[in-house]
Amino acid sequence: MISPRLTVALLAGCALQQLAAGAEVHGAGAEGTVMGPVAFLWPSDRQWDASQDNTAPCGSSAGVTNRTEFPLDQGSVALTIADDAWNVEFHLAVGNNPTSESDFTEQVVSNISSVQPGHQCYKLEDLPDTLSAGTNATIQLEYWSSYEDGKNETFYACADITFVEAVAFDAQVPCFNVTASDFNSGSASSSASSSTASATGASASSSSNDNSGSSSSSGGLSTSDKAGIAIGSILGGLSIIGAGIFFFLYRRRAAAKREAAAAAAAATPKEVEEASVRSARH
């Protein structure tokens, strides 16, 4: 059996690795280097391509390279947002490799008027009744932003999935809602503590600010904003891990005490006397 000390070391190592990875992906230079203004945090999207991110339907020259298992019920998508965006839409195409905008006929999240830099999670709605476990599909993200030349442009991204029964889905989805302004103001309106919540616990969220689509300039996330969002979400996960470790060790100690008490209660008077004699000799 793995010792408690080794368990703590392993979990701490994993947490530090996640922290380093998060800082790299969400740190300075993410926008325009590994992602556009908005990208899928979950499920995994196709490789980003700066020369293609305004090209329908998927904003990438890469085809289907990997698929993420996705629950048939109560599934959610999570976004990482590096810059202001508007008219955010999610559409679904059922099939192995959709290549045309006309393939994405099912809108699976209500229209989102605008989003701010940070992270957001949205629950998928109105999935087709014809879907079943094992069905391949692609989720399309479509939105407006103006980060390249100050003009509003349409951007695309796609995530390839395979549907599974909800009871068979046990992945931990990084589903939480937080904006960069939450960190700057010190408000606690984010749900970063649920960064390891399952897809069934995700809630849809949309901005109340409407935008008519007029041109808008934005400096996007600063280095501290991006690092703060990443570290904040990871620390939320670390608090859950720490609580789990404490509970694990507490139960082990309690079990050991119960076993010792039971052994003492079951001991015969002769055994107790012999133990006392041995103790006196030492």
The answer on pLDDT for 8 being more than 50 is no
CB atoms within 10 A of CB 20: 12
pTM for this prediction = 0.61
Q: What is the pLDDT of residues 75-97, one digit of tens each?
A: 999 999 999 999 999 999 999 99
Q: What is the pLDDT of residues 87-128, one digit of tens each?
A: 999 999 999 999 999 999 999 999 999 999 999 999 998 788
Token pair for 81:
């947002």
Q: What is the pLDDT of residues 162-208, one digit of tens each?
A: 999 999 999 999 998 998 877 666 554 444 434 434 444 444 333 43
Of 19, 193, 226, nearest to 118 (Cα)? Answer: 226
What pLDDT is attached to residue 179?
87
Least confident of 135-144, 147-156, 219-228, 270-279: 219-228
Q: Under 8 Å CB-to-CB from 265, ≥6 apart: which residues?
A: none
- For 173, how many CA atoms within 13 A lie in the half-sphere containing its CB? 30
The one-character DSSP state at 199 is G
Mean pLDDT of the chain: 72
Q: How far apart are CA 187 and CA 208, in angstroms?
A: 18
Token pair for 169:
């889905």
Question: Do residues 144 and 53 touch, judged by C-beta distance below 8 A?
Answer: no
The owner of tokens 């939480």 is: 176
Specify the CATH class of 32-220 in words. Answer: mainly beta
What pLDDT is attached to residue 15?
40
Taking CA atoms, 271 is separated from 259, 262, 277, 280, in Å, by: 17, 14, 10, 14
Token pair for 224:
């501290």
Which sequence spans correspond to the domains of the chain?
1-30+223-282, 32-220
What pLDDT is attached to residue 7?
44
